[in-house]
Structure 1
Amino acid sequence: MRLHHLRIRAFGPFADEVSIDFDEIGCDGLFLMHGQTGAGKTTILDAVAFALYGRVPGARDTHRRLHSDHADPQAVPEVTLEATIGGRRVRIRRSPEYVRPKKRGSGTTKTNASATLVWLDGSRPDLTRLPEIGEAVTGLLGMSADQFFQVVLLPQGDFARFLRAQNDEREQLLEKLFDTARFGDLENWLRDRARTGSALLAQHSDAVDRLAGQIAAVSGGEVPAEPDMDWADSRLSAMEDDERGVAAELAAARTAARQAQEALDTGRTHNDLRGRGEKAAARLVALREAEPMLAAVDQSLAAARRAAVLVPLADDVDAALTAGEKAEAARVRAQTPLIELPEGDELCAGLVWSPEIDDAADGDGQPDTAGHADDDSAIDRAITEWTAESGRWEPLARRVSMRPQMISDIENMVTEIDRLQRRITDDDTALTALPVRRDELVATLTEATRAGARVPVLAAERREVESVAAALSSRESLIATISEKEREVLALKDFHLNARETLVRLRERRIAGMAAELARQLVDGQACAVCGSLVHPQPAMHPDDAERVGDAEESRAVEAERSAADRSAAADAELRVLLDRREGLDDVIGGAIATEVTARLTALDAQLSEAEAVAAQADVLEREITRLDDHAQALRARIGEAHAQLATLEERIAGARADLTELDDVVRKATGGVMSVTERREHLALLCARASAVRDTRRAARQAIRTHHDLSIRLQTRCAEAGFGDVAALRDAAADDRQIAEWDRRLREAAQMRAAAQETVDDPQVARAREGEAADVAALEALAAAARTRADDAAARHGVAAQRLADTADFRSQFWAALDVLAPLQAKHAELAGLAELVAGRGANAKKMTLRSYVLAARLEEVLVAASARLLQMSAGRYEFAHSDAVGPRGRRGGLGIEVRDGYTGVVRAATTLSGGETFFASLALALGLADVVSAESGGRVLDTIFIDEGFGSLDPEALDLVMGVLDELRSGGRVVGVVSHVDELRARIPAQLQVLRGESGSRVRVSGTLLATP
């Protein structure tokens, strides 16, 4: 990595822009950076670190206050670094997060960090995202930020502390520089595996102990100190013997219980047969005693069955009698309303009625009813006469039915006359009010016409004011655009100047190269091709590290400078266009104030809206005036039409009233004034209806009497045939279905009981049982119960023994499987635990070194080998480093000890015994050695630019000469070394110097001892 150019602005103590050309100041390979305390020397190193990694070294990064307090709060803090990293030239610009005042209003706002990375060879697209830039820089450098801070920005104080530190502190720094994460992961992996194995081993050991306890608990034994399979087998054999003994006891108990149960069953069967025989004999005796009662039931059942056939006919006779009584009552009820009417009373007086029927039949064999038939004919003749009279009243009735409609028509015409008179009054009132309303509308129309004339004037004035308001709004946004464009113009001019500076340096390098080429062609004694001299006292020399500049490279630089100039000119032209637009807007505004313009625009909007609203009413008003004129004409026409309708209605009312008077006279003459036509017709209809009801009920009563007489004769005949003296005897013999079914059931059950009892008595087994004595069932039951209890107890004991045997066998199998798993687990855990203890620096690890410490010790040995070469040179061959892996005091971990071998005495002693000056060059040698090793670790990338910070003040002149010799070796290898120091002697030894000057308005830098030295 080689630094080319650094530009700082509003960063740390630097308020204004500061540019440092490392190519120029480091052209000799060595330069000195000095200045007052607090001026900003360390800030320059921080700027390099921030440009690359977006952070600064050490505790300064925790505060995140990188914006310069000397700069304008609106100024953007920025660091731009141009460098060659991993063979790629890049330009990195970074701006940290900072707080600035708000552009509008009060308060502050936070601006986020930003960055860009430009590939100056154009091989890749530029980067703007912070994570992508960080990955790109880390990939090119091959080291992290912490590694870079240690190997490029060599902080001597840190390495002096590193030299004197304890192993733990030294381990922390080395872990930042060398990636030992994978070894730490291995330590953690082994530790976790050992813990997992320990937990698994404990789990399986617990399982073995638990199974042994279960075997002992089930089999009744004790758990030995070391239970094994022989012990488990012995417990299983004991359980098998116990189960076989209990099984034999169970078989004997079950045999005895079965025999006792068989004896009990035999006794119960004997007693049951004997009881059945006794019960059957007793039932036969009872049936013989009940035979008279059963014979009476049988006779009642036969009479009830004969009566059941005639009961429906007897019920019909009773029903016919009831129907006749009801028909007679209906006849009487129907005749009463007819008697209440005048003509009906006369008709009823001539009617006769006899409820008795003469047994002497007429010629048809039916009872005689001739008198009743004459009465029916008289009723029919009266109905016919009344119906004929009602028909004669029909024409006059139709005319009378129209009388209500005639009255309604007269009333409707009177109502219509009242309505027409009210409408004429209302129309006259409305017609009188129309001229006043028309005058009001004409006045309003005149005002709307004047408002319409004002609308164009107000609209024109509003457009003018609106253009001023638009200009004010556009000017505000245009000012922001102009500010942005001005910054762009300044940036493009800087870019153009940089491109032009690059072109000038390129041409200077090419000219220098041309002089060297011509100098190589010079021959002593021959004329120079340029000046013609034969003497060549000081020919130009071509720098060994200078690259030759070709036409293509110069053409690219010319094209880049021309492109930058074109972009700058284009941006400048765009800025002039924006300024012209602002001037045009100022002409339109003419000094107007935004608040006044806004207020005037609001007032004009209100006036214009009001005028437009009033003017818009003109057409409506004209139409309304026309409508009023039309309405007045329509009212006049409607009033005339209403008067004509009134005359017509009054004429029609007079005619209708005359017709109604004439109809009333006709009706009065026809009815004699007693009743109306309608009332007479209704009276005749009522006579016909009531007379018809009397006739019908008389006929129904006669039919009911005839039906009852016929059924009574039939019933008397059937009773005699069935053996019943009269209907009363029939009713006495009759029984309902439930009683008949009950008598039949009792007779059938008696027969069945007699047959079943006789069969039981005749059974030989029953007969033998009746001859013997009854068995003692209670004693047999007691014997059987005792036998069952003994069998159940034996079965329970056998179940327990069998379960214990099964459980023991199951636990033995599990115990065997657990022992098979436990043995390899114990061996594997012992191996893993030993490895975990070993890599953790415990157990058999005699040096108490962890795996990470062991790896870091190897890296430290490499660092000490590289540092010893530097230390031998700086100490004139006296000192070199020695690595110590001894264990620390009080058992502390070892492996990272640093000692110094004194070549004068041959003694190896602690680094803390060195003097101040010796400690400085030991620390410097250690830092340089570390830089070499880390560089090799990062892929062998050469660190062409390094900085050494402080520590030279502790050296005597001789030691300083030795250190300067080492620095000369570093720069002779192509490196650029920047020394940061206050030592005055270094100013005399190092010509190229970068001085940092402190000031009230911020720091600045001054370069001396170079071609570009600043005054």
Structure 2
Amino acid sequence: MRLHRLHITAFGPFGGAQEVDFDDLSATGLFLLHGPTGAGKTSVLDAVCFALYGSVPGARQGGSLRSDHALAATRTEVTLELTVAGRRLELTRQPPWERPKKRGAGTTTEKAQSWLREYDASAGSWKDLSRSHQEIGEEITQLLGMSREQFCQVVLLPQGDFARFLRADAEARGKLLGRLFDTRRFAAVEQRLAELRRAAETQVRAGDAELLADGHRMQQAAGDIVELPLPDLSPGDPGLAESVLEWAAIARSTARERFTVAHCAQAAAESAQAAANHVLEDVREVARLQRRFGEARERAARLEERSGAHREAQARMERARKAEAVAPALGLRDATEAEHRRAAGTEARTRALLSESFADAGATGLAAAARKAAEELGGLESARRAEYRITELTDERQVLDRQERADEDMLHDAGTWLAEWEATRADLQTRIEEAQEAATRAEQLAVQREPAQARLAAARMRDQLAGDTDEAHARVLAARERAGDARAHWLDLKEQRLKGIAAELAAGLVDGEACAVCGATEHPAPARKVDGHVGRQVEETALAAYQRADEQLTEEERRLGVVREALAAATAEAGDLPTGQLAELAEELERRHAEAHSAASGLHAAREALEQAERERERRLAAQQEAARRVASRASLRDALDRERASLEGELTQARGSAGSVAARAAQLERQVALLTEAADAARVAADTAQRLKDADARLADAAFRAGFDTPSAAAAALLDDAAHRDLQHRLDAWQQEEAAVRAVLAEAETTAAAGQPPADLQAAEQAASAAGRRVREAGSARDAARRRCTELDRLTHRAGGSVRRLGPLREEYDRVARLATLAAGTSADNERKMRLESYVLAARLEQVAAAATTRLQRMSSGRYTLVHSDDRAGRGRSGLGLHVVDAWTGRERDTATLSGGETFFASLALALGLADVVTDEAGGVRLDTLFIDEGFGSLDDQTLDEVLDVLDSLRERDRSVGIVSHVADLRRRIHAQLEVVKGRSGSVLRQGGGGG
């Protein structure tokens, strides 16, 4: 992978557009990226990583990529041109951007954008490959063969990370190497083996638990027949299967012996039960025959007692049979008599509704009178239509009268309202003008109200500040007095101390040492302190009190000045008027404004009222004209109706006769026709039923005489209804059946013979049979229980045997997986160094890295140091990731954490370069033509720096270019190709020079 060109816009500290030509910088193989701290050296490397992977290295993720120095309309963008795997590509990345809206105020967020293009040498132009973030990320990762973490560790060699790597423990090294070499598949193997072990262990334990549960079920099924208890074992314990199967064999043999004994006992009980049942049957038969004979004797006695009633019932049945021949004549006579009574009643009722002139008329006369009335009724149909038309004419005339009265009322109301229209309009116009004047007045008062309120507030502040000024002035006077007293007190004490200063000096004199005043070494008469002597501490306390009082005076004077300035400002705004007068003026303005505003609020209502009144005037004028037109057209219609009514009245006078109307006359005739017709029909039916009644009486008398009855009434009394006839016949049949049954029983030979024997003892026989049956049931229950026990034990033993057979392969699989899992996890006794599988793989990679790093480390250290990989355990931890350095000068091997600062730098640099080679080979051999080394050169002396630069310069032998990121001044003299980052107030800029071009 070789970088060609990097273009940066509004990225990191770069506010504008910056471009880096890596082809020019890489011409000499070694170039320097330098600049002051915070200028943005690392941001150039961040831009490379962002262009490739769409994000910056892990430690700098999460922050904003946009430059704070960029213009609002400039979008953040990074473009990188590179060659990888023989393909020249161009990557462009734009992070999300909050830009100003094109129309209106505010901002809008643009989504992130990505472009991938490839240079087509044959066409001499770029062609687009993709604009998808995901597709571009997959393509770059596949081409480079490295993830973002690997790229940042291999191409952007961070020396600080490798210095920590040299001093880290095995666990920290394992995390870093795991990220670089992606050993997650080996960790997944460890995890998968652990999961398989847990799963197999779960299956084995589940099988043991199931087997042990079957053992407990067999123990429950066996009950107390086995004295030996079930072994006290848990799932997973050795020998569980053998113990359960041995106990099951003992339980099965014992249960079969118990079943044989129960079978023999049941057979004996069944034989005894059969004998007892045979005796019971014989006793029951004798008892039954004895009961049968006794019951027959009792039934015969009861028949003898009811013999008289039986003979009476037979005589009653004979009379009823004779009366059945007369029954049809009796029914016919009763039906005819009932029909005649109904017809006579109907005739009497219909004749009562007629007039007396028809009282003696027969059926023929009544029918003739009905025909005559019907003919008169048919002649009234034309008069009915005329009478109905008169009613319609009357209704129409009433409607015209109501409409005429309504129109007259409308004309009157419209005339009255229109007469008052001018006054109404003038009044509404006046209301509108008054409301408009009030609105203008309210606006003027609103303008005056705000200054008046401000002056009132300023006046109230003026009054308050006047009182505060007096109080502040009083505090200043008091503070000034306290400060003067404190100063006088301090000066007095100072003067007193100066007077007694000799005693203070004398207190420090020592014989043989020179005096600080005169220089003498002898002190024959030193001064002594007198009572009330003022010392240095007392004077300093008084001075401090004076200083505090003076500071308090200064503060009070400052406060007085602030209050006076505020008072002057409030007085200037409020003027000279008293606060009360200003309050009255403000209240008067407020009241007048409220009145004007209230009056102005009626402007809209007054305008609406005027518009509504104008619409009402138009409506009333239109209604007035329409009513006048209707009044004119209604007069001709009224005259036509009156003429038609007069012509119809003459025709109706003749048709009504004495009735009030034609309808009333027609109703009278219809009723008369109906009554006469009904009376004629009733008279004919009554005469017919009277004749048929006479015929029925004659036939009834003849039938009764032939049946042997003296009168028809006697025959009617002998008749029986269906229910009485069935009841009497049932009693006669029951008597005969009972008599026959009793004679049959008393004639049986067996029954008669049993009656001659002693009474049978049925209770004793039943008790003996019941006891025998109970013994059989008990024996059967015991046999069934023994059989069920044997069956259940056989079933559970078969099931336990199947469980043991299934557990064999599972236990073998568990042992095999458990050995592999513990070996891979480093907890097995066979794993002497306690190395996990992932650690073992990482140890192999670390050994390769140490070998590749040693080649460069020996050149940097003039052959002194060699990196070696160690499998030794560190304390109680696991082994495999140890890294030691061999010092050729001492011949001793020591830990890399003991290296000095400079030694740590070139050791970590060698480790980083070796790691880059190994990771490159691991990633599929992708050639890395451009590397960056970040900082750390400041810790080297001149000789070591020369050696390190020689090693880096040797990388050019493989056609590589190395960029050093440093601010060491000596490197600027040694490396000619440079990329300088210059920072300023408007953002950083890039300056490129000293390259091949």
TM-score, normalised by the number of residues in structure 1: 0.68
Structure 1 residues 521-540: aligned runs within 5 Å:
none
- Residue 823 (1) aligns with residue 826 (2): no
Note the alpha carbon deviations across 1:780-823, whole angstroms, 9 max, x for none. Answer: 11111111221222222222222211111111111111222223
- Indicate the SS of the match to 1:125: strand
Residue 96 of structure 1: aligned partner: 95
- Measured after TM superposition, the shift of residue 241 of structure 1 is 0.8
Q: Specify the code of the residue in structure 1 equivalent to 2:21.
A: D
Look up the equivalent residue of 1:246 and give its one-letter code.
A
Correspondence 1:140-539 to 2 at 5 A? 140-219=143-222, 220=224, 221=226, 222-224=229-231, 226=239, 227-288=243-304, 290-317=306-333, 341=356, 348=360, 402=383, 405=386, 412=393
* 1:855 aligned onto 2:841: yes
Q: Distance in 2 between matches of 1:677 and 1:640?
A: 34
In structure 2, do the counterparts of structure 1 residues 412 and 896 end up closer, same or farther at CA, with 3 Å as the change threshold? Answer: closer
**Displacement after TM superposition at 1:902 (Å):** 2.5
> How much has 1:713 moved relative to structure 2?
4.1
Which whole-Å deviations, capped at 9, do the CAs of 1:118-143 have from their partners, x for residues lacking one?
21226863322222221222122111
* C-alpha contact 2:119 2:127 (8 A) present in aligned 1: no
Q: 2:933 aligns with which of 933, 944, 948?
A: 948
Aligned 1:23-102 pairs, distance under 5 A: 23-62=23-62, 64-100=63-99
SS at the partner of 1:223?
A: coil
Report deviation, 1:685: 11
Deviation of 1:211 (Å): 1.7
User: Alpha carbons of 1:741 and 1:653: their partners in 2 closer, same or farther (altered >3 Å)?
Assistant: closer
Deviation string for 1:898-932 (max 9, x for gaps)? Answer: 11222334322222333333222222211111111
Q: Which runs of 5+ in 2 are unaligned?
A: 233-238, 419-621
CA contact (8 A) 2:173 2:881 kept: yes
Deviations, residues 651-679 of structure 1 (Å, cap 9, x unaligned): 88887777888x69x98xxxxx9999999
Distance 2:284 2:206 in 1: 65
User: What displacement does 1:757 show?
Assistant: 1.8
Q: Secondary structure at the match of 1:852?
A: helix
Partner-residue secondary structure (3-state), 1:927: helix
Match of 2:850 in 1: 864
Alignment-mate amino acid for residue 138 of structure 2 = E
User: Residues 756-789 of structure 1: CA distance to partner in whole angstroms, max 9, x if unpaired?
Assistant: 2222222222122112122100111111111122
Question: Would the alpha carbon gap of residues 635 and 956 (structure 1) be closer, same or farther in structure 2, given more than 3 Å must change?
Answer: closer
Q: What letter is aligned with 2:842?
A: L
After TM superposition, the structure 1 stretch with the greater mean CA deviation from structure 2, 747-756 or 20-29, is: 747-756
Structure 2 residue matching 1:27: 3-state secondary structure: helix
User: Which residue pairs with 1:560 in the alignment?
Assistant: none
> Is 2:393–2:645's contact at 8 Å kept on the other side of the alignment?
no
1:1011 positional shift: 5.9
Q: Is the 8 A contact 2:15 2:69 kept in 1?
A: yes
- 2:130 is equivalent to residue 127 of structure 1: yes
Contact 1:868 1:925 in 2 (8 A): yes
The amino acid that maps onto 1:34 is H
What is the correspondence of 1:883-922 to structure 2 with a 5 Å cutoff? 883-889=869-875, 891-922=876-907
Does the Cα contact within 8 Å between 2:117 and 2:126 map onto a contact in 1?
no
Structure 2 counterpart of 1:371: none
- Code of the residue aligned with 1:117 in structure 2: it is L
Please name the residue that 1:881 is paired with. 867
- Give CA-to-partner distance per residue, 1:449-480, whole Å, 9 cap, x none: xxxxxxxxxxxxxxxxxxxxxxxxxxxxxxxx
Counterpart residue type for residue 70 of structure 1:
H
Label 1:898 to 1:635 Cα distance change in 2 as closer, same or farther (>3 A): closer
Q: Distance in 1 between matches of 2:80 and 2:199?
A: 52
* Per-residue deviation, residues 275-328 of structure 1 (Å, max 9, x unmatched): 212322343344355444433322221121101211332454455566666666
Relative to 1, partners in 2 of residues 1:115 and 1:308: Cα closer, same or farther, differing over 3 Å?
same
1:233-274 deviations in Å (ceiling 9; x for gaps): 221111111111112112222222232222222211111112
- Find the counterpart in structure 1 of residue 445 from structure 2: none
Asked if structure 1 preserves the Cα contact closer than 8 Å seen for 2:373 and 2:669, the reply is yes
Distance 1:151 1:772 in 2: 127
Q: What's the RMSD between the two structures over aligned residues?
A: 4.5
Is contact 1:9-1:18 (8 Å) kept?
Answer: yes
Aligned residue pairs, count: 771
| Aligned-partner Cα distance in 2 for 1:11–1:52 | 15
* C-alpha distance in structure 1 between counterparts of 2:176 and 2:670, whole Å: 136
Question: Could you say which residue in structure 2 is the equivalent of 1:487?
Answer: none
Q: 2:283–2:760: 8 Å Cα contact kept in structure 1?
A: yes
Distance of aligned partners of 1:742 and 1:417 in 2 relative to their CA distance in 1, 3 Å threshold: closer
**Corresponding position: 1:772 with 2:757:** yes
- C-alpha distance after superposition, 1:73-130 (max 9, x if no partner): 4322222221111211112222233545555666655444322222122686332222
Structure-to-structure mapping, 1:919-934, within 5 angstroms: 919-934=904-919
Decide whether the 8 Å contact of 1:151 with 1:927 is kept in 2. yes
1:951 Cα deviation (Å)?
Answer: 2.2
Match of 1:366 in 2: none
Deviation at 1:859, TM superposition (A): 0.8
- The alignment partner of 1:92 has SS state of strand
> Is the 8 Å Cα contact of residues 390 and 681 (structure 1) preserved in structure 2?
no
Tell me the amino acid that sits aligned with residue 149 of structure 1: C
8 A contact 1:387–1:684 mirrored in 2? no
Counterpart residue identity of residue 167, structure 2: R
Cα distance, 1:2–1:678 mapped onto 2, change above 3 Å: closer
SS at match of 1:252: helix
Picking from 955, 978, 992, the partner of 2:963 is: 978
Residues 243 and 651 of structure 1: CA distance in aligned 2, closer, same or farther (over 3 Å)? closer
SS in 1 for 2:325: helix
d(CA) in 2 for partners of 1:420, 1:684: 37
One-letter code of the match for 2:877? Answer: R
Distance in 2 (CA, whole Å) between partners of 1:70 and 1:998 is 11
- Work out the CA distance in 2 between the residues paired with 1:724 and 1:236: 99
2:793 is matched by which residue type in structure 1? T
Matched letter for residue 875 of structure 1: S
Q: Conserved in 2, the CA contact under 8 Å of 1:410 and 1:657?
A: no
**Length-normalised TM-score, structure 2:** 0.69
Identity %: 38
1:550-593 per-residue CA deviation (whole Å, 9 max, x = no partner) reads xxxxxxxxxxxxxxxxxxxxxxxxxxxxxxxxxxxxxxxxxxxx
Which residue does the alignment assign to 2:704?
Answer: 719
Deviations 1:612-658 (A, max 9, x none): xxxxxxxxxxxxxxx9xxx99x989x989986x88888888887777
Written as runs of structure 1 = structure 2, the 5 A alignment for 1:491-890 is 707-844=692-829, 845-889=831-875
Check whether the contact 1:945–1:975 (CA below 8 A) recurs between aligned residues: yes
| Contact 1:400/1:677 (8 A) holds in 2 | no
Q: CA deviation at 1:969?
A: 1.3
Contact 1:410 1:656 in 2 (8 A): no
Q: Indicate how the Cα distance of structure 1 residues 732 and 188 shifts in structure 2: closer, same or farther if over 3 A, else same.
A: same
Name the aligned partner's letter for residue 33 of structure 1.
L
* 8 Å CA contact retained: 2:85, 2:926: yes
Q: 1:152 to 1:827 in 2, by over 3 A?
A: same
Give the 3-state SS of the residue equivalent to 2:82 in structure 1.
Answer: strand
**Is the CA contact (8 Å cut-off) linking 2:30 and 2:961 kept in structure 1?**
yes
Per the TM alignment, residue 54 of structure 1 is displaced from its structure 2 partner at its CA by 1.9
Tell whether 2:112 aligns with 1:113.
yes
CA 1:305–1:901 in structure 2 vs 1: closer, same or farther (change >3 Å)? same
Tell me the amino acid that sits aligned with residue 960 of structure 1.
Answer: L
CA distance in 2, matches of 1:257, 1:813: 39
- Describe the shift of the 1:823–1:124 C-alpha distance in structure 2 as closer, same or farther (beyond 3 A): farther
Q: 1:305 to 1:17 in 2, by over 3 A?
A: same
